[in-house]
Amino acid sequence: MLPRPTRAARIIPALDLPTAADAAALAARLAPHAGPMKVGLELFCAGGPPAMQGVAAVAPVFLDLKLHDIPNTVAGAVRSLLPLRPAMLTLHAGGGAPMIAAARQAAEAAGDARPIILAVTVLTSMDAATLADTGVAGGPAQQVLRLARIALEAGADGLVCSPLEVPRIRDAFGAAPLLVVPGIRPAGSATDDQSRIATPEQAVADGADWLVIGRPITRADDPVAALRAIAASLPA
Ligand code: C5P
């Protein structure tokens, strides 16, 4: 499994791009200055495994497909993904303990190359009102802690959560869970569709391990310069 990162290796650029060629080209430019690269739904749906392999040629891949289905189906999806050798793999904690346990068990077949299994708690785009619309009354922080406990007890190595929940997760579960944190916005940059956000410096100071950062890098006039400026702002 990937070691815990420091400095620039904490940054996971999100390659939310429509073609494999665009993603491979940007990954090659960013890789010397970053950690793993995120391949998510947009790119994987467009280009499939070859799109991921183009990125994997230059960096470990955070494969963010947010699997969410019955345990047997999710375990099968994990088995199908193992030959691609993702370094990190996501599933939705809301799928429940049996689904997460089935994914972890399926991943064990990769031995030392087992991907880090990360459970997505509450999407960083959701605020209390959108969460309440889905029937969850307690607010994001409470729901994140509930899902975190289920996921970690079922065998997830870590969590995907917003920066706002990192301190509470560290208080409740200590240093062991790997925390991957989207919803990162350098001071002064556009919020876009994100709701629960913080700056890169704040997220790391609070205990985040990796930062997933998309548009502030990919839509910058100079993505490499934007990435390097963020990396320079991080504590060691
Ligand atoms: O462009 P931006 O920095 O908002 O991209 C954030 C990335 O993190 C996106 O690729 C999104 O899919 C991902 N993500 C998220 N919230 C989660 C899990 C993943 O924004 N809870």
Residue written as token pair 């100079």: 222
Please tell me the distance from the alpha carbon of residue 147 to that of residue 212, in angstroms, as a whole number. 20
**Do the bridges between strand 11-13 and strand 210-213 make them parallel or antiparallel, or are there none, so unpaired?**
parallel
Is the pLDDT at 236 greater than 80? The verdict is no
33 Cα to the center of ligand 1, angstroms:
20
> Does pLDDT of 124 surpass 90?
no
Residue 68 has pLDDT above 90, yes or no: yes
The token duo for 147 is 């899902």
Query: pLDDT tier at 6 (50, 70, 90 boundaries)?
Result: confident
Query: Is 66 one of the annotated active-site residues of the chain?
Result: yes
The first and second tokens of residue 189, run together, are 């940059």
- Number of Cβ within 10 Å of residue 118's Cβ equals 27
Phi, psi of 189 (to 5 degrees): -90, 165
For residue 89, the model assigns a pLDDT of: 98
Query: Among 110, 91, 109, which residue's Cα sits nearest to residue 100?
Result: 91
Length of the chain: 236
Q: What is the pLDDT of residue 136?
A: 95
Q: If you measure from the C-alpha of residue 109 to the centroid of ligand 1, how many angstroms do you get, rounded to a whole number? A: 28
Return the CATH class of domain 7-232.
Answer: alpha beta
- For residue 214, the CA-to-ligand 1 centroid distance in Å is 7
Ligand 1: which atom is nearest the Cα of residue 41? 12
Rounded to an integer, the average pLDDT of 84-101 is: 98
Q: Which atom of ligand 1 is nearest to 213's Cα?
A: 3
Q: How far, in Å, CA of 39 to CA of 80, rounded?
A: 16
Domain boundaries, the chain: 7-232
Kindly indicate the confidence band of residue 166, based on its pLDDT and cuts at 50, 70 and 90. very high
